[in-house]
Structures are given as C-alpha cells and as structure tokens.
C-alpha cells in the first residue's frame, strides 16, 4: 500500500494463477487498483499567520479589498475544499468572500465612529466531520481629514 494524499490509501494488487496440467502450464495475471477512503482528519491551516495586523484609510470605497486570508487543507477531494466566514456577532462594516477569503468593506468606514476592528475568521473544510481553523484580524482605520 502507498499513501495517496491525506484521506486515503491506494494499492495495486497483483494476482497470478498457474494451472498445472498435462499440457504446458498456463497462467493468467490481473492487476487492479483499490482506493480505501477514510474520514477527513486534517484541519485547515492558514498559510501565513494566524494574527493579521492590517490598516486602511477611512475614505476607501465600499467593496475595497483589505486583506486576503488563505488556508489549505492536506486532505483530498471535498475534504480539502475550504469556506471562509467571519466569526462575530458585531455589526462589522466588513464582509468576507466565502470562497476566496478576501475581506472587503461592506459599507463606509468612519474612524471617528470606530478606529479599530478586532474579529476572527474561520476556515472550515467540507469534510466529514468538518474541521476548522481560526485566524484573528486586527484592523486599524486611519484618519483622513474630512472636516472641510
């Protein structure tokens, strides 16, 4: 047996039969591959760090990309596919693309209203059972002179 990715093993089996008899011996040979699949057991892992320090000016437009979080999963197949979500009950002016991991502004930022946002992002695989990893984001909103 030889490992194939993280969620399964495969093996190539060889069976040989020899038929002795009065005529010259005959034999047949067959090969087949069998995949043995096991449950998802490797959780996602963020590729850079698990604590992101980012800053953005308060005058960026809605939809502005701030930072991309990325995780990978060493499982194979659907067990390695990852979705992202912001884990917060706060009313954040941000959203995350659940497929790409890009965190973008969902509405205008105002430093006078809130100068820092501290929240967590969860990367969850599509395995059974589902596994997850968490990264913390500290976003600082920089002031722009908007008192004209």
The full set of domain ranges for the chain reads 2-37, 45-142
Backbone torsions φ then ψ of 79, nearest 5 degrees: -65, -20
Cβ count within 10 A of residue 138: 13
pLDDT tens, position by position, for the chain (148 residues)? 334 344 455 555 566 556 566 666 555 556 656 665 556 678 899 987 888 999 999 999 999 999 999 999 988 888 889 999 999 767 899 999 999 999 999 999 999 999 999 999 999 999 878 899 999 999 999 998 867 6
The architecture of the domain spanning 45-142 is Sandwich (2.60)
Between CA 122 and CA 125, with CA 123 as vertex, the angle to 5 degrees is: 135
């Amino acid at each position: 047996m030889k490992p194939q990715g993280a969620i399964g093993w495969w093996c190539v089996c060889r069976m040989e039969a020899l038929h002795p008899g009065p005529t010259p011996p005959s034999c047949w040979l067959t090969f087949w591959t069998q995949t043995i699949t096991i449950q998802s057991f490797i959780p996602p892992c963020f590729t850079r760090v698990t604590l992101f320090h980012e800053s953005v000016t308060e005058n960026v437009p809605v939809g502005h990309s701030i930072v991309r979080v990325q995780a990978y999963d060493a499982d194979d197949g659907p067990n390695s596919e990852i979705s992202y979500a912001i884990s917060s009950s706060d009313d954040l002016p941000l959203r995350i693309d659940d497929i790409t991991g890009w965190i973008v502004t969902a509405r205008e930022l105002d430093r006078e209203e809130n100068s820092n946002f501290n929240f967590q992002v969860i990367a969850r695989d599509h395995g059974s059972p589902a596994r997850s990893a968490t990264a913390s984001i500290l976003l600082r909103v920089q002031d722009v002179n908007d008192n004209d």
